[in-house]
A and B are shown apart, each in its own frame.
Chain A
């Protein structure tokens, strides 16, 4: 076969495949829930499509998968109880955003095309920002489990993004709680901060911690930055150590922070180390070691060993064979918010669901009562401070939102 014919043949084949594959995309993925008993095709029995736009691969895959597990648990539970709105079941469609903003935009576009009434996720701020316009144009609500940046729901000019909601608290509150705890309970006069610059979660907490801490007349003696995924923190730990702070605040995700704690203890820093709710997932103690984790504290939205949570923990353990983490809780609560809103709305009309979410008011979920502000779409919820004692999280105090 001459190369020319060969080339044309390849092109034709590729075009054919592309067309077939793209045509395949148009059809929705197989339903994840069993068909409604009775088989009535009327709108009453139709499944309710919900899109999960999550970090299933890439650098944040661990968080995305935990969140997805939590969401599925909530939907499976309500489906097993007979669904909502006279027996309509939830049908969740997962899309992977590869932990990347651009891919999150693609995933949202795809899900919007599959007639979803809501998109749950993405987990990170940047990925949510890439989806706001699409969901707004298509009248689909988006609830992010863990996008903490304040500007997701409220624009710079103070107007609220009508279709965007969240299940987590925003950076300022958490930073303040941490700073006040450092001052009041730990008696810190000086602090050092180390934060991650790759996502904006960590920087937001650091900034708000610093503001509160300095407003109380204390000093931040050293600020260091790192990039998420770093494993070697020894150089910046030496820098912090030489500034001799009373407390170190490291508000990033658990792998980075566990490495930090381990290496700080090895370098001879014995003072208190604090973190944010990013510590609430994964095996901090496993990485850093139980002894090293003594005298460390974190702010969290949930105390997972609380007796009132044990039903959820057991269900999760049974379903997935591992213990839930903070992201599982957030995922579960995100799905619960949607389920509750659909029930309250009494329909799956976009505007009805949106308005029901906005007026959710006080909503009791597994981590406690969340109060939604219709002006900002932000939930106010209690913060808890936990202390690690010999590898076990112990409840230290609870801080109510202002």
Chain B
């Protein structure tokens, strides 16, 4: 294996991992705030990809406006899903909420399949097909867009969560819902805002995946959704930098398992690493060990 080969694979891993990270962020935020594994998240991403497809193909928008429209549409969708399906269950068992999430996921997948048929759709060329040669590496225009968009959104999210009122409220709610409510925070609005932001990030990821791989289809959210959840757990669920780290770790693992000739074991490798990490450090890479109080 030459150094160029390794570098090129490294780049492939980073670009794949960035997408996982972007989806994982939504998972992690929702989990951090209401401890719900939102299995429908990957399908929200799919809806985002379809919105982006519609905007570029039918309405002939360019990439950035299409992505913004998709983000807006999905944040509304996220809030609606939360209000309709999850909010009534906030007081019941977490398993009931989990099953509802699975139900929502099926609903989005098959509802979309009913609406648009299972046919695979393709994007018009929204990116220039430029390929840059940096030394021995070939870098696609799309790679640069993916990594740039991910970094920008991640930074923006960090700023929002750290310095804005809503961000502070989110942290307060995730820390202690009752206490936050006593301090005058409208918990419902904060949860809705979390869903809105998380779903918007998923939509961005959906449009990026759709454009980069040039396809959208109704079941495209299942595997990336599951992988992104793995990434979120790997990094430490509920922790925003953890999602980034987990996504990159997952992307790199997959690429290197394939590169050494075990491409069909790729997903198994990813899950194996997850299980090992969980056994060694059950709260994930960046998670803090909390001692259970009796």
Contacts and interface: CB of A to CB of B under 8 A. Distances in A.
B118 interface: yes
A242 to B, nearest CB: 6
Contacts of A234: 9, 12, 16, 255
B264 A226 contact: yes
A: contact size bracket = 20 to 34
B289 interface: no
Contact of A287 (B16, B120, B209, B254): B120
A143 B213 CA distance: 36
Interface residues of B, number: 35
Interface string B194-231: 00000000000000010001110101100100000000
A291 to B, nearest CB: 8
B113 A235 contact: no
A287 B215 contact: yes
A231 B120 CA distance: 12
Contacts of A225: 263-264
B92 interface: no
A62 B219 CA distance: 12
A349 interface: no
B213 A235 contact: no
Contacts of B129: 289, 291
A238 B120 contact: no
A7 interface: no
Contact of B120 (A236, A283, A289): A283
Contact of A262 (B214, B220, B255): B214
Contacts of A258: 214-215
Tell me the interface secondary structure of chain A in the complex.
helix
Contacts of A266: 131, 138, 140
Contacts of B223: 229
Interface string A239-278: 1001000000000000100110010001110000000000
Nearest to B264: A225
A238 B12 contact: yes
A62 B118 contact: yes
B48 to A, nearest CB: 16
A61 B218 CA distance: 11
Which of B5, B9, B213, B254: most chain A CB closer than 10 A? B213
A267 B138 contact: yes
B264 A227 contact: yes
B31 interface: no
A282 interface: yes
A236 B138 contact: no
Given A225-B263, A234-B12, A61 B113 contact: yes
A262 B129 CA distance: 11
Contacts of A289: 125, 129, 214
B21 to A, nearest CB: 15
Interface in B87-130: 110, 113, 117-120, 122, 125, 129
A156 to B, nearest CB: 26
B62 interface: no
Nearest to B224: A231
A310 interface: no
Nearest to A66: B119
Given A255-B215, A287-B120, A287-B214, A235 B131 contact: no
Which of B9, B110, B215, B256: most chain A CB closer than 10 A? B215
Contacts of B258: 235-236, 239
Interface of A: 57, 59, 61-62, 65, 197, 224-227, 229, 231-232, 234-236, 238-239, 242, 255, 258-259, 262, 266-268, 282-283, 286-289, 291
Closest 9 CB pairs between A and B? A235-B258, A286-B122, A61-B118, A234-B12, A231-B213, A225-B264, A235-B255, A235-B259, A62-B118
Given A225-B264, A232-B213, A291-B129, 11 more contacts: A65-B117, A197-B264, A224-B261, A226-B264, A231-B213, A235-B255, A235-B256, A235-B259, A255-B215, A283-B120, A287-B214
11 contacts: A65-B118, A225-B263, A226-B263, A231-B213, A232-B12, A232-B213, A235-B263, A238-B5, A238-B259, A259-B215, A289-B129
